[in-house]
């Protein structure tokens, strides 16, 4: 790994959410301090990491987290969470939490999207029942979003230019699984959800294939 982590390394994870990234890193033996303000997520991570005693979870935001004793970490990790924190806070505080040769590790999975023709077939349903879903980025726009994140890290003045690794993936969902995904991507009013789901079912065949862009950005502390 670019960050040169070993089984003895320590990681501070910001916004661990339900723990998808947490479990993957915990399996490699790292000592992890995980932060998230959502109580349900914290309980889920604790449950999923019961077999990994070096994982500790704190119900708090990164901004509010102020430990009595700071033991510098080898890496600060955030999976699809770093953009929620104000730039004037996140980079300076991440810098403070890292060892001199520590790294900021940012994992990004952008919004899964179908082919544009399939999206246009669904757009009218989205517009009527879930306007927040009326947005199509496409590969070029998503690439620009990732470049913006990379540049912001460099411009902070706390980290070197990120080293990146990027992949494009495709996933095929059943209609039922796709509807579950829609519910996680955007907030949908309960009264609108039934009509939205019915409209989507009417316009889709049994399966739908989505593609999404993923990137790992690793930046060394200056």
Q: What is the pLDDT of residue 3?
A: 65
Reference 32, options 11, 4, 6, 63; nearest CA is: 11
Q: What is the pLDDT of residue 1?
A: 58
Give percent of the chain with pLDDT exceeding 90.
Answer: 83
Longest CA pairwise span in the chain (Å): 57
Higher confidence at residue 34 or residue 181? 34
Tens of pLDDT, residues 66-125: 988 778 999 999 999 999 998 889 999 999 999 999 999 999 999 999 999 999 999 999
Q: Where exactly are the structural domains of the chain?
A: 1-109
State the pLDDT confidence band at 183, using cuts at 50, 70 and 90.
Answer: confident
CATH fold of 1-109 reads Rossmann fold (3.40.50)
CA distance 196 to 179: 9
Phi-psi region of 19 (alpha: psi -120 to 50; beta: other; left: phi over 0): left
Question: Which tokens is 127 given?
Answer: 């517009």
State the pLDDT confidence band at 4, using cuts at 50, 70 and 90.
Answer: confident
CA distance 72 to 122: 49
End-to-end CA distance of the chain: 19
CA distance 134 to 123: 6
């Amino acid at each position: 790994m670019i960050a040169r982590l070993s089984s003895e390394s320590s990681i501070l994870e910001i916004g661990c959410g339900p723990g998808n990234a947490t479990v993957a890193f915990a399996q490699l033996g790292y000592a992890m301090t995980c932060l998230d303000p959502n109580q349900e997520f914290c309980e889920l991570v604790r449950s999923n990491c019961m077999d990994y005693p070096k994982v500790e979870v704190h119900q708090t935001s990164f901004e509010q987290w102020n430990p009595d004793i700071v033991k510098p970490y080898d890496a600060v990790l955030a999976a699809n969470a770093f953009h929620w924190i104000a730039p004037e806070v996140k980079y300076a505080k991440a810098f403070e939490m890292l060892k001199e040769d520590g790294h900021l590790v940012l994992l990004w999975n952008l919004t899964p999207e179908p082919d544009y023709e399939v999206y246009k077939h669904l757009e009218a349903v989205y517009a009527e029942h879930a306007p927040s879903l009326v947005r199509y980025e496409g590969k070029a726009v998503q690439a620009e979003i990732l470049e913006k994140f990379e540049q912001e890290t460099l411009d902070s003045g706390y980290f070197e230019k990120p080293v990146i690794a990027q992949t494009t993936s495709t996933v095929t969902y059943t209609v039922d699984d796709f509807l579950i995904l829609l519910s996680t991507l955007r907030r949908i009013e309960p009264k609108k959800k039934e009509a939205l789901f019915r409209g989507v079912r009417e316009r889709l065949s049994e399966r739908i294939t989505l593609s999404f862009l993923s990137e790992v950005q690793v930046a060394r502390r200056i």
